[in-house]
Structure 1
Amino acid sequence: MSNYPLSYKLSWLPRFLKPSLGGDANGFAPAAGTLMDPSPKQMVRLAFVGDISAVANRSAPACDPAIKALLGTADLVIGNCESPIVDKPSAVLGTKLGTHHAMSERFLVEALAAVGIECEKLVLSLANNHVFDQGVAGFDATAATLRLLDIRTIGLAATGPVERFAVGPIALGFAAFTLWRNADESLFAGRVLMEGDPARWPREASAGIDLLCAVPHWDWEFRHFPRAGTRALARRLAGHGVGLIAGHHAHVVQPVQRIGEAIVAYGLGDFLGTAFARQPWPGRIGGIFIVDVSAEAQTRGRVAAYRLLPFMRLRVGDHERLVSVDGLEGGMRQKVERRLRAIFPSPSR
């Protein structure tokens, strides 16, 4: 059914319980950088967030004002819809156990309001391994609900490998795909994009686009440093004109890399908890990837600056609270800051 190798399956629980800092930590960039100095006078701001799910939330999350204000500065917010949106789950037992994801329309609407994301400014990828957790009917219901909410989607086979959006004067292209699936390949075929090789995308797909962005569901879960194959795919995407990559699936924050003119944020962790409510603390660190893009005629589509802002999801009763790292206290703040220093090199290094 799924396409995970056996070694991956065997390592899932140990890595969930203790997310790994192992792997190649070389060649990464600081969590923030300026690529154009002076900054363009006209810019468009993109905010990429991680996986969105209701698995760890029974009610809408609480959100610190600083995070809500930051998301409010974005012209477009892009995330991954990790849970099918259904009124009543069809996979009842799996949903109760947390292996099958589901969230209601009401939860999504209330969650977006709580964090300050307007539906009209939101783009959600449906290219992920959980998209068929509630069957084909759940997939269809999810797409229909998002259309009714005026939330745009990417990663659907029907719209092709690159979906185009205009944000101000900038023509953006989004290529969303998943390398992983939890269900039979026949369910994904013709519905969800799984083609991660940009050489196979039609040449005309990116014609007339100022900035091509990839939103891949890749890498192995609960590992802070991406695997060699993931880094190789990032180089391949950059070599085919992708200027910005924001990845999902690892459920922990991963580093940033510059590949020529391209910027890669390998993993943003969870925006709203997708695993269990009592997830170990390293898996509760998420990241918001803010990217300012030039909207001026001569440099339109160039990334002017980026910064990955980490936050923490704290458990409060039946829901989570999103807290900036600066808002943490005591030992928890010290632990989180140490972990972040291990993942993101300082600007002087």
Structure 2
Amino acid sequence: MSPRVRSRPVGAPVPAALVLAVLLAVLLAGCTSSEGPPPPDAPTTSPSASTPTDPSPSTTAPREPSPAPARPAAVRIALAGDVHFEGPLAGRLADPATALAPVARVLSSADLAVVNLETSVGSGGRPAPGKRFTFSAGPAAFTALAAAGVDVATMANNHAVDFGRARLPSTLRAARAAAGADPPLAVIGVGRTADEAYRPALTDVDGTVVATVTASVADQDPTADPTGQWAATDRRAGTADAMDPARLLATVRRAAREADAVVAYLHWGVQGERCPSPDQRSLARRLVDAGADVVAGTHAHELQGDGRLGEAYVAYGLGNFAWYSPGPTGVLTLTVRPARERSGRATVTRARWWPGAIGADGLPRAVTGAAAADFRSDVAALRACAGLG
């Protein structure tokens, strides 16, 4: 797993010509010395380098204590919900650089921004038969997310394969291109095999490594994926499916050993519900016990409660974000301070919502005044509903 490095260079390299000149000067000095090698019985160090011979107290300077290892710096992680480019949003991909302009500032101001891309991406294939809603976008969707400040997009959801398995090769090619673009975007939750689909995104923020793990654990309705046919396997491309969460939990445990902080971003819950289901609550606890420092998710298309769960922070539902249906939305930004040792737990020291609303054009915009106050009241009520601190 190759981390995406955002740290800055710490210094300029030393010119090669300067290094060569110094080495040449040292060699010439050795060749022109008038002193021959020391006699066989003579010491090979000068008296000044040996222990002082006078009876005065030792003049050796006390050894400086080794500096303590640097503590990884705190990072700001922005979490937002479901994104697609349907309806009024479709035409915005004609100019990906400005497609999500109203939220670019809030997303790009964080060290790491994560969203759920709820659509198939690429070309070819056909709409999945019998499915009520099928979403599609070209590779410009990845460009639009990156331009808006998104660093990681998960596609572990029930719309990533809306146009069938025949489209997946183009999806994966576009994802690889996005990872190498400027700015880059890490696309997770979909892959040629289950190992690839489960592979976390590792983001290095000035030496602090954050692992983002994803999977879909939502109950699939009969029109979405009735047999789990879109799940990646050891021999088949698809999405990271965790109806059996064993692999997901193992991925989180491994990520906790390799990173300073772990974010588990899931596709889960019951559509239309504003309180988390018993299954969500149970899995959240298991993910925290496995080492996740932040647990978040989407699928309900509604905001659900957020708050502290033991040593971690949970946001059960981030709702819609850029969507063809107007309604409330927001960006949850968490300040996360890693432990000094990788074996320790990171701590969320601050949680702050950017309150917003999705307009008729599908774009999220900030709300102020009474609307912002209503948003905060709603968040407080949802936290109580979720049973979080």
1:178: which partner in 2?
216
Following superposition of structure 1 onto structure 2, how do residues 1-349 of structure 1 map, counting pairs within 5 Å?
42-56=73-87, 57-60=89-92, 63-64=101-102, 67-87=103-123, 90-91=126-127, 99-110=133-144, 113=147, 116-117=148-149, 122-150=151-179, 151-156=185-190, 157-159=194-196, 161=198, 163-165=200-202, 166-180=204-218, 181=220, 182-183=224-225, 184-190=227-233, 191-195=238-242, 196-197=245-246, 198-201=248-251, 204-273=254-323, 277=324, 279=325, 284-294=327-337, 297=340, 301-315=346-360, 319-326=361-368, 339-340=378-379, 342-344=381-383
2:382 maps to a residue whose letter is: I
Deviation at 1:209, TM superposition (A): 2.0
Q: In structure 2, do the counterparts of structure 1 residues 100 and 76 end up closer, same or farther at CA, with 3 Å as the change threshold?
A: same
Deviation at 1:263, TM superposition (A): 0.2
2:352 counterpart SS class: strand
Q: 2: distance between equivalents of 1:333 and 1:257?
A: 19
Q: 2: distance between equivalents of 1:94 and 1:145?
A: 27
Q: In structure 2, do the counterparts of structure 1 residues 209 and 202 end up closer, same or farther at CA, with 3 Å as the change threshold?
A: closer
Q: 2: distance between equivalents of 1:175 and 1:62?
A: 24
1:149 counterpart SS class: helix
Q: 2: distance between equivalents of 1:341 and 1:164?
A: 31
Q: 2: distance between equivalents of 1:53 and 1:334?
A: 28
5+ residue gaps, structure 1: 1-39
2:357 counterpart SS class: strand
Q: In structure 2, do the counterparts of structure 1 residues 272 and 88 end up closer, same or farther at CA, with 3 Å as the change threshold?
A: farther
Deviation at 1:146, TM superposition (A): 2.2
Q: 2: distance between equivalents of 1:203 and 1:107?
A: 31
Q: In structure 2, do the counterparts of structure 1 residues 145 and 336 end up closer, same or farther at CA, with 3 Å as the change threshold?
A: same
The alignment's TM-score, normalised by the length of structure 1, stands at: 0.71
Higher relative contact order (CA 8 A, sep 6+): 1
1:247 counterpart SS class: strand
Deviation at 1:208, TM superposition (A): 2.7
Contact 2:188 2:197 in 1 (8 A): no
1:24: which partner in 2?
none
Deviation at 1:288, TM superposition (A): 1.0
Q: 2: distance between equivalents of 1:321 and 1:199?
A: 34
Q: 2: distance between equivalents of 1:334 and 1:308?
A: 12
Q: 2: distance between equivalents of 1:245 and 1:78?
A: 12
2:137 counterpart SS class: coil
1:215 counterpart SS class: strand
Q: In structure 2, do the counterparts of structure 1 residues 337 and 256 end up closer, same or farther at CA, with 3 Å as the change threshold?
A: closer
1:143 counterpart SS class: helix
Q: 2: distance between equivalents of 1:202 and 1:110?
A: 29
Contact 2:271 2:300 in 1 (8 A): yes
Q: 2: distance between equivalents of 1:168 and 1:333?
A: 34
Contact 1:86 1:105 in 2 (8 A): yes
Q: 1: distance between equivalents of 2:173 and 2:213?
A: 21
Q: In structure 2, do the counterparts of structure 1 residues 341 and 304 end up closer, same or farther at CA, with 3 Å as the change threshold?
A: closer
Q: Where in structure 1 do 4 or more consecutive aligned residues deviate above 6 Å? A: 92-95, 332-335
1:7: which partner in 2?
none
Q: Deviation per CA, 1:93-115, whole angstroms, max 9, x where unpaired?
A: 989xx7101112235534654xx
Deviation at 1:135, TM superposition (A): 0.8
Contact 2:297 2:316 in 1 (8 A): yes
Q: In structure 2, do the counterparts of structure 1 residues 199 and 104 end up closer, same or farther at CA, with 3 Å as the change threshold?
A: closer
Deviation at 1:339, TM superposition (A): 4.2
Q: 1: distance between equivalents of 2:367 and 2:252?
A: 42
1:28: which partner in 2?
none
2:83 maps to a residue whose letter is: I
Q: 1: distance between equivalents of 2:171 and 2:330?
A: 25
2:275 counterpart SS class: coil
2:120 maps to a residue whose letter is: P
Question: More displaced, 200-209 or 169-178?
Answer: 200-209
